[in-house]
């Protein structure tokens, strides 16, 4: 059932003819086809922009949205920050508990609600996530990443009676007046270097490219 088509006669006490009924049946059928096509188009768009496992944006859609946000930040001289997040020892989770546990851990991390509706989070690939935080300076971004790290550490993944501890490492970089002209790729590289430092320093921590 897609809906109900209600039709009223302009004059009281008048009845629709069989011909009217046949025409309305055609209209109703065509309306149903149009609604179904619209629903299929919406679903196709969602699948094209969304990572099916986590429900976050996929990498392709992130790279479609992020440059526009960077350009807006440059134009209005707003801060913007970027986080790259990696699940610590993800291979160990897969090897110990199976790939289903790994998928559950990724969904668990993606569903944490520390980011705002205006932020642009995405699955970057494998066990990595990326998020662009508009109108956010480096200090605020570090605070957000720190809350996310603490929340994930404090809430183990529950699967088949097992309590699986998952932690993350995060690298953070920001676009500020001194780096106003740099491209998205450069911002990502700086956040990625900070992530590498976090992982090399023992993991389960947040590091900025200014650290």
Beta strands 157-159 and 162-164, pairing class: antiparallel
Task: Name the β-bridge partners of 76.
Answer: none
Q: Residue 164: helix, strand or coil by DSSP?
A: strand
Question: What is the secondary structure of 120-160 as a DSSP string?
Answer: EEEEEETTEEEEEEET--HHHHHHHHHHHHHHHHHSPEEET
127 is catalytic: yes
Cα(198)–Cα(204) distance, rounded to whole angstroms? 8
Phi-psi map region of 202: left, alpha, beta (phi>0 left; psi -120 to 50 alpha): left
Q: What element of type H or E holds 45?
A: helix 18-49
Q: Which of 114, 127, 128, 153 is catalytic?
A: 127
Cα(176)–Cα(165) distance, rounded to whole angstroms? 36
Cα(20)–Cα(138) distance, rounded to whole angstroms? 66
Q: Which residues are catalytic?
A: 127
């Amino acid at each position: 059932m897609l809906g109900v088509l209600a039709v009223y006669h302009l004059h009281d006490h008048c009845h629709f003819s069989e011909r009217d009924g046949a025409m309305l049946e055609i209209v109703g059928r065509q309306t149903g086809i149009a609604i179904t096509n619209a629903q299929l188009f919406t679903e196709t768009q969602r699948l094209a922009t969304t990572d099916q496992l986590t429900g976050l944006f996929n990498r392709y859609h992130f790279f479609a949205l992020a440059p526009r946000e960077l350009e807006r930040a440059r134009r209005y001289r707003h801060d913007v920050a970027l986080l790259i997040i990696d699940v610590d020892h993800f291979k160990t989770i897969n090897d110990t508990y199976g790939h289903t546990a790994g998928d559950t851990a990724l969904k668990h991390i993606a569903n944490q609600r520390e980011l705002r509706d205006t932020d642009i989070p995405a699955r970057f690939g494998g066990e990595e996530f990326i998020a662009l935080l508009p109108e956010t300076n480096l200090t605020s971004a570090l605070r957000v990443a720190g809350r996310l790290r603490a929340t994930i550490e404090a809430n183990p993944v529950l699967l088949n009676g097992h309590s699986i501890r998952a932690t993350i490492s995060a690298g953070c970089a920001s676009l500020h007046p001194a780096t106003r002209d740099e491209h998205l790729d450069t911002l990502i590289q700086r956040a990625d270097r900070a992530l590498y430092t976090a992982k090399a320093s023992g993991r389960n921590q947040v590091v900025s490219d200014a650290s």
